[in-house]
Structure 1
Amino acid sequence: MFNLLEMEAYKLRRSKAFYGLLLLAVTQSIFVWLFNDKLIQHSGKETLSYMFFIQASLGANIFVGILSADFIGTDFTSGYIKNLISYGHKRRDILIAKASVYCFGSIIINFICPVILTIINTVKNGYCTNFTLDEVIKLMVLSLTAVILQVAICSISLLIIFLSKNPTINIGIFVAIDFIFRAMSIVSIRVLSFKKVYDNIILSQFGIMSQDNVSMGQYAHSLIIGLITILILFPLTTYIFEKSDIK
């Protein structure tokens, strides 16, 4: 298992797609900060919430799909996964190793923008008016919830790529999901009854937990949705991979 993790970590370090997406994320953060006059004046706390809130509009969900297509999808088309199985590695171990490193890479790509801008504005404007123990706890809860939600979104991509075994299909589906999510966001603003549905899907949770004066109950709500998504999709992906005919 450790050898598999080591191999996957090496692959990530050598991945051109990973560094390309990382560079794109950093470039976005620079442009967002330079061309948003209000953001420049935000405190570190306001910046972190704002950046998580606009993650989807910056292409975070599509980044997840692109990375899984390159990092995992090409292993199916090249025969790499078939070779790992023939060498005697358990499919469950292969999946866990790939999923762990893939989720780690996705977190780095999608969190580097919020983290960089939060650090800049914290140095420039301070983190918040009163940095109390309560604020420290909220920051820790926000960070934990954000990580769980990112892993949950990654679990959707894992299911798609292990089901399709095709990088192109994976990217196409994630672009479609992102488009549908944006459409749902617009509908939720105009149709109050639909908003109740929208507020309970995994992709909307970053926006919900980034609202002003969010309560611990709302954090818990987002956290539970994230955990449920992971607990359903990861075992399902494992089952599909175990039963798949790898060619």
Structure 2
Amino acid sequence: MINLLRAELFKLIKNKVFWTLTIIVTVVFALLHYLITIGWWKVSNSFVDSGLELFTSFALAITPFYFMLFLSTLAGFFVANDFMIGVVKLFVMGGHRRSHIFLAKLLIFALGSIILTVVCPLFVTFGGKLLFGFGEMTDPAAIGYFARSLGLFLLHLMGFVTLLILIALLVEDSGKTIIISIVLAVLISVADVMRPLPGFLETLYQYSIFHHLTDSFRVTMTHSDVIESLLVALCTILILVFCGNAVFQRKEVK
């Protein structure tokens, strides 16, 4: 398992698409952060309400449609592409257990996703503060709220990452993976705008990771809200990991 993790990490480090996406995410978010900080783009969100104006632009980074564009591309060229060029076949022929191959790929893909979705925006945010004095924290005590929200967000992001892995396993094609993922991101955005959804769909959406991804940053959350968010994230991860591993176990590797 350790050797598989090292191999997947080496592949991620050497992946040109990953580094291209890292540069693009950093540059795009830096531009958006600058426009929001100088007041050219007026926004109001939970970070402003909680006294953490420094993180105002971070609300864009946690928008599903925004980060789905990058993560779907990474999933296509880091996961699905391995089936097309025969990398997975080499791992299987090397005697590695399929469950270990799946978990190693999932963990390293999750690491890359966290770098693109969270690390790059935070790097820009703190870098802008240190170098140019961009942003303020009028209520430093609210940093606890940010830590709690970010922790919940990362759990739901892990569920999202597992879903992308499952899509990549099913289609085994980088282009199809990207297209399906972007269509899913559009549907999520439309569902959020149209809320409340009719009947059962509203309940289904309310207890999905898609809703809790952004709801994690709600300023006021009771203990029951936090527990509900944790249960939704953990149950989703477990179900999707089980499904992904089951699909991989039965897949004919060419």
Task: Give the shorter-chain TM-score range.
Answer: 0.7 to 0.9
Q: Deviation per CA, 1:144-184, whole angstroms, max 9, x where unpaired?
A: 21211111100101111112222122111101101111111
- Given the superposition, is the C-alpha separation of residues 124 and 167 from structure 1 closer, same or farther in structure 2, using an over 3 Å criterion? closer
SS in 1 for 2:210: helix
> Structure 2: how far apart are the matches of 1:7 and 1:215?
42
* 2:238 corresponds to 1:228: no
Task: Give runs of aligned pairs for residues 179-198 of structure 1, distance below 5 A.
Answer: 179-188=186-195, 195-198=202-205
Q: Percent identity?
A: 21
* 2:139 corresponds to 1:129: yes
RMSD of aligned Cα (Å):
2.8
Q: Pick the aligned partner of 2:151 from 123, 144, 164.
A: 144
Q: Which runs of 5+ in 1 are unaligned?
A: none
Q: Could you tell me how far 1:219 is from its partner in structure 2? A: 3.3
Q: Could you tell me how far 1:214 is from its partner in structure 2? A: 3.9
Task: Give runs of aligned pairs for residues 98-117 of structure 1, distance below 5 A.
Answer: 98-117=105-124
> Structure 2: how far apart are the matches of 1:66 and 1:121?
30
Letter in 1 for 2:84: T
Aligned residues: 244
Letter in 1 for 2:30: I
Letter in 2 for 1:19: W
Q: Could you tell me how far 1:129 is from its partner in structure 2? A: 1.8
* 2:219 corresponds to 1:209: no
* Aligned counterpart, 2:70: 63
SS in 2 for 1:59: helix
> Contact 2:51/2:139 (CA < 8 Å) preserved in 1?
no
Q: Could you tell me how far 1:117 is from its partner in structure 2? A: 4.9
- Given the superposition, is the C-alpha separation of residues 152 and 21 from structure 1 closer, same or farther in structure 2, using an over 3 Å criterion? same
Q: Deviation per CA, 1:71-105, whole angstroms, max 9, x where unpaired?
A: 11111001111111111111111111111100000
> Contact 2:76/2:168 (CA < 8 Å) preserved in 1?
yes
Q: Which runs of 5+ in 2 are unaligned?
A: none
> Structure 2: how far apart are the matches of 1:189 and 1:47?
31
Q: Pick the aligned partner of 1:178 from 185, 202, 222.
A: 185
Letter in 1 for 2:27: T
* Aligned counterpart, 1:7: 7
The normalised TM-score by structure 1 is 0.86
